[in-house]
């Protein structure tokens, strides 16, 4: 089966990755509409050897479209959701707009693909840090329920878009040349520095990014009671997120068992070479589909061998965003 697709926000970092991934995976499409804001209207793009013209996204853009891949920000997703549904298309939305809506499936294809069929016109792509954490945690949770997760993230600039990656490069150049760092994409200096995630703070003191990990994980795992706490941090890395994950399981589990479970898990590459102290790094995951996992250790601070520490790296733009959405679209086709 082949389908008509639209890409909303096609000129952004995730939009551009949509195109690369659709091409790489030979996604079965009949037509592609390249949609963006008025600013990019008329811009030319090459996709699979053919030239396309970017169109301004309007309510009429979705006539005849089957699947609309959205990565244009939450307000654009909200603005065009009705138009997409009225056109009979399905929106696969990378924004946070509908993630916690009870009528919208929130899907990591390696975890809960069965949720896709319950959609009412919108399927939400989870937050990047959540996807990257859950791909390796799910097969463990299935073997031995996770009772509690303590996560600290090391998040790449790409999570704030292409402008943030450009800012990291420019600030680095300026600082190395003895000039002052100018902050536009980020509120604080990102080059040779790091800071708690700059998303809005909730009344409980957690930023939105931290609460996404908590709430989205509960929804994706269908585990409303799983205990999760998270600290989200921006680091001067281009496009792969890293996460330090501490897991408390229901029953005893060893590092060897975890390694064994992960070695056959879909979407996971185990890179856990103790002899050479060689574990995942952002530059390993950069441009790759899999989530890399290593530095797998028994957490000796939890009794009865029920604790495990993991270190994971995943490409924020690919598995953290565009790839996960395309995988959802593949299951829709």
Q: Which residues bind a second copy (CB under 8 A)?
A: 148-150, 152, 154, 168-169, 172-173, 176, 187-189, 192-196, 198, 200-201, 204-207, 227-229, 231, 233, 235-238, 242, 244, 246, 255, 274-275, 277, 279, 281-283, 294-302, 307, 309, 311
Would you say 247 or 321 has its CB closer to a second copy? 247
Report whether 301 belongs to an annotated binding site.
Answer: no
Would you say 3 or 150 has its CB closer to a second copy? 150
CB of 38 to a second copy, least distance (A): 31
CB of 163 to a second copy, least distance (A): 17
CB of 97 to a second copy, least distance (A): 22
Phi, then psi, of 77 in degrees rounded to 5: -60, -45
Phi, then psi, of 168 in degrees rounded to 5: -60, -45
Would you say 51 or 200 has its CB closer to a second copy? 200
d(CA 68, CA 10): 11
Instruction: Answer yes or no: 128 catalytic.
Output: yes
CB of 108 to a second copy, least distance (A): 21
CB of 254 to a second copy, least distance (A): 11
Q: Are 283 and 327 in contact (CB under 8 A)?
A: no
Report whether 49 belongs to an annotated binding site.
Answer: no
Report whether 16 belongs to an annotated binding site.
Answer: no
DSSP class of residue 210 equals H
Which residue in the list 141, 197, 241, 295 is annotated as catalytic?
241
State the helix-helix crossing angle for 255-263 and 128-143, rounded to 10 degrees.
Answer: 110
Element (H, E) at 81: helix 74-86
For residue 234, which of 201, 264, 191, 275 has the smallest C-alpha distance? 191
Q: Are 45 and 19 in contact (CB under 8 A)?
A: yes
Provide the token pair at 231. Answer: 């600290």
Residue 308 gets the label, from left (phi > 0), alpha (psi -120 to 50) or beta, of: beta
Instruction: Answer yes or no: 241 catalytic.
Output: yes
Report whether 99 belongs to an annotated binding site.
Answer: yes
Provide the token pair at 148. Answer: 């509690």
Phi, then psi, of 70 in degrees rounded to 5: -105, 125
Which residue in the list 128, 230, 232, 313 is annotated as catalytic?
128
Would you say 92 or 165 has its CB closer to a second copy? 165
Q: What is the sign of the dihedral through the CA atoms of 268, 157, 206 and 108?
A: negative
Report whether 159 belongs to an annotated binding site.
Answer: yes
Provide the token pair at 36. Answer: 């963006």
Report whether 14 belongs to an annotated binding site.
Answer: yes
Residues designated as active site: 128, 241
Binding residues for substrate: 155, 208, 234
Binding residues: 11-14, 39-40, 99, 155, 158-159, 208, 234, 316
Binding residues for phosphate: 99
Binding residues for NADP(+): 11-14, 39-40, 158-159, 316
């Amino acid at each position: 089966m082949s389908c008509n697709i639209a890409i909303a926000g096609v000129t952004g970092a995730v939009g551009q990755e949509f195109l690369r991934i659709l091409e790489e995976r030979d996604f079965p499409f009949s037509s592609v509409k390249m949609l963006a804001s008025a600013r990019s209207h008329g811009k030319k793009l090459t996709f699979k050897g053919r030239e396309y013209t970017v169109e301004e996204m309007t309510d009429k853009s979705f006539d005849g479209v089957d699947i609309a891949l959205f990565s244009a920000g939450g307000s654009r997703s909200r603005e065009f959701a009705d138009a997409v549904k009225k056109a009979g298309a399905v929106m696969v939305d990378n924004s946070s707009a509908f993630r916690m809506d009870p009528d919208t499936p929130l899907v990591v294809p390696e975890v809960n693909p069965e949720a896709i069929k319950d959609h009412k016109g919108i399927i939400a792509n989870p937050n990047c840090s959540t996807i990257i954490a859950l791909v390796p945690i799910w097969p463990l949770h299935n073997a031995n329920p996770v009772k509690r997760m303590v996560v600290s993230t090391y998040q790449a600039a790409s999570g704030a878009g292409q402008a943030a990656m450009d800012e990291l490069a420019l600030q680095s150049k300026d600082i190395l040349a003895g000039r002052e760092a100018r902050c536009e994409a980020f509120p604080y200096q990102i080059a040779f520095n790091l800071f708690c995630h700059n998303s809005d703070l909730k009344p409980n003191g957690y930023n939105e990014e931290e609460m996404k990990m908590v709430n989205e994980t509960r929804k994706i795992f269908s585990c409303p009671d799983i205990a999760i706490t998270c600290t989200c941090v921006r680091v001067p890395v281009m496009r792969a997120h890293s996460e330090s994950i501490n897991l408390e399981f229901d029953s005893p589990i060893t590092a060897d068992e975890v390694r064994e479970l992960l070695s056959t898990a879909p979407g996971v590459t185990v890179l856990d070479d103790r002899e050479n102290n060689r574990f995942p790094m952002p530059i390993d995951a950069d441009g790759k589909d899999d989530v890399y996992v290593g530095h797998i250790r028994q957490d000796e601070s939890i009794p009865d061998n029920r604790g495990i520490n993991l270190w994971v790296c995943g490409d924020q733009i690919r598995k953290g965003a565009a790839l996960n959405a395309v995988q959802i679209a593949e299951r829709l086709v």
